[in-house]
Structure 1
Amino acid sequence: MTLATSPLSVLIVDDEAPARSRLRDLLGDLAETQPTRIAGMAGNGLEALSFLEHERVDVVLTDIKMPVMDGIELARHLGRFPQAPGVVFVTAYDEYAIQAFDLAAVDYLLKPARAQRLGEALAKARRQRPPAESVLRQASPQARTHFSVSERGRILLVPVADVIYLKAEQKYVVARTAQREYLLDESLVQLEEEFSARYLRIHRNCLVARDAVQGVARSVVGEEGEAHWVILLDALPDQLPISRRQWPGVKEALGL
């Protein structure tokens, strides 16, 4: 069997069991022209990422609208894998989103999927690059539910709801939870844009979760230091300085 026709390992992701079964059957019908090996099935993006912690696949066939974690967020996390699998969306999503996926070299199938179209998608997936993060963000403007963290050769998922503040330090952003810190390879500006409903900018290098704020206080550094305002947190003893520039916005946002 040549490299061009060597089996692709496939993960099927859909929250509906009949849809998963249909894709499995279609892959079987295409065995001669587009040989595949079904590595596994998952009911949402979070289950898929958990599966992929232990097994690498070549292609992920995923629905878009799913509970817990949708297909677009799944694709964004997959793009951070050292060897990212190809992503093929199997969806009834609107045409605007489909055009965006196409520009990012992400293939798609409209439900109900057809064997011929699936075969074309698999052929494209053999040479497909991971989808562009910027286009995925445009296609699904709602905020992610998890951050992706590369740590010791693994991709960790940190629930956004657990992150109390985000602080830029050198080339990384520190995501602080009640338990520990994680390093994100992302821009604080982009994080502020994506999570504006959850995080409040208090300094040029810091965003804090609005629901984690206990209050504010005046703080003085040193015997003759200048007093400045700091954020007090519910779950941590950290006191986060508020810059003069951000103070008016912080007061308004917190209703002070």
Structure 2
Amino acid sequence: MNLSPLRVLIVDDEAPARSRLRDLLGDIEAEQPTVLLGMAANGVEAMRLLESEAADVVLADIRMPAMDGVEFARRAARLSDPPDVVFVTAYDGYAVEAFELTAADYLLKPVRAERLAAALAKVRARRRSAAPAAEPAAGRRHLSVNERNRTLLLPVVDVLYLRAELKYVTARTAERDYLLDESLVNLEREFCHSFLRIHRNCLVARAAVKGVERVGEDDGDAHWQILLAGCDERLPVSRRQWPAVKQALGL
């Protein structure tokens, strides 16, 4: 089974405890693949990290200075893309409060590898059930294109990428370009399962990506480009979007 990595943040005020969880994640990598976004010593640091990068799951101690794990969980739940929280603590007296906060799991130290793997599996199940279903059968399969007093129906599956240019969006197929009178933001929201944002002005069809290439090393402007199936054009990936693109493509 090929599982996508979970983005994990570790929060504990004791450095050995953070290192222990990091090592355990490495031990169960084959069973539960993860990407470690970072480690924080308290809830304040953790919230700062989450403001710049979304996590799927946070492994959080409860008793911490500055902001404890319970208060952190309350604040994290208010984020636009809240992570699941797994409490990791030496104390069993917080279990009721933790589950009132809808914590994904509650692990007692010392944590065993198999118990951590089970907790991450539970997180995966929760996130699958909470995720929006793939585009429903009743959703659009065509985009409307107005050309020379006629309306063409462009199949979504034929589109290689969508790029915002001035007040229009260009839809590129293997044969030609089409102009759409729609916003890139709305298109991304509607077809988020089919298209991947690679730049602030460009979405690429996931099915059209045949690889990536790093260019510009010699002139000091190194960046990644998307290689497309059915088209010789290469699309630049912004530095801001590269981590999300890399993860989405399983690189």
The alignment's TM-score, normalised by the length of structure 2, stands at 0.48
